[in-house]
């Protein structure tokens, strides 16, 4: 039971991290120091998508699920949990690169707005 709880906590942290990577730049409008947390997270998220690596949280979650008596999964977190939401078909390498580009462009745009606002002040 404890291992299953740990696996579910890791799952929640993983999802929160993805949300943070995609939308965290919006918090920088209110707290500038937040960028010190967000920019490294964005770099990591983009690296994961562009390189095709699997986030270390995925095997860790799998490890705890297997110890808890459940089966792990062989795909990435995105493929396992978010695929049906993000893509109607299977996640391809090209799709991963597109996700990375969207994250990069979205965050560059928001940070550009933030820097313009800082220059005015």
Report residue 104: phi and psi, to 5°: -65, -50
Q: Are 35 and 107 in contact (CB under 8 A)?
A: no
**pLDDT tens sequence across 31-90:** 889 999 999 999 998 898 888 888 888 889 889 888 988 776 666 666 666 656 554 466
Sketch the domain layout of the chain as residue ranges: 2-120
31: DSSP letter: -
- Cα 98 versus chain centre, distance: 14
As to burial, measured by CB atoms within 10 angstroms (0-12 exposed, 13-18 middle, 19+ buried), residue 59 is exposed
Residue 80 is predicted with a pLDDT of 64
More confident residue, 99 or 85: 99
């Amino acid at each position: 039971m404890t291992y299953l709880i740990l696996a579910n906590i890791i799952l929640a942290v993983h999802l929160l991290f993805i949300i943070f990577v995609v939308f965290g730049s919006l918090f920088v409008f209110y707290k500038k120091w937040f960028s010190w947390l967000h920019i490294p997270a964005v770099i990591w998220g983009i690296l994961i998508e562009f390189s095709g690596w699997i986030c270390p949280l995925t095997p860790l979650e799998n490890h705890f699920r297997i110890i808890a008596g459940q089966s792990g999964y062989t795909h990435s977190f995105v493929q396992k949990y978010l695929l049906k939401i993000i893509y109607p078909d299977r996640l391809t390498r090209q799709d991963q690169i597109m996700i990375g580009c969207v994250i990069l462009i979205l965050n560059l745009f928001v940070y550009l707005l933030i820097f313009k606002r800082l220059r005015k002040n």
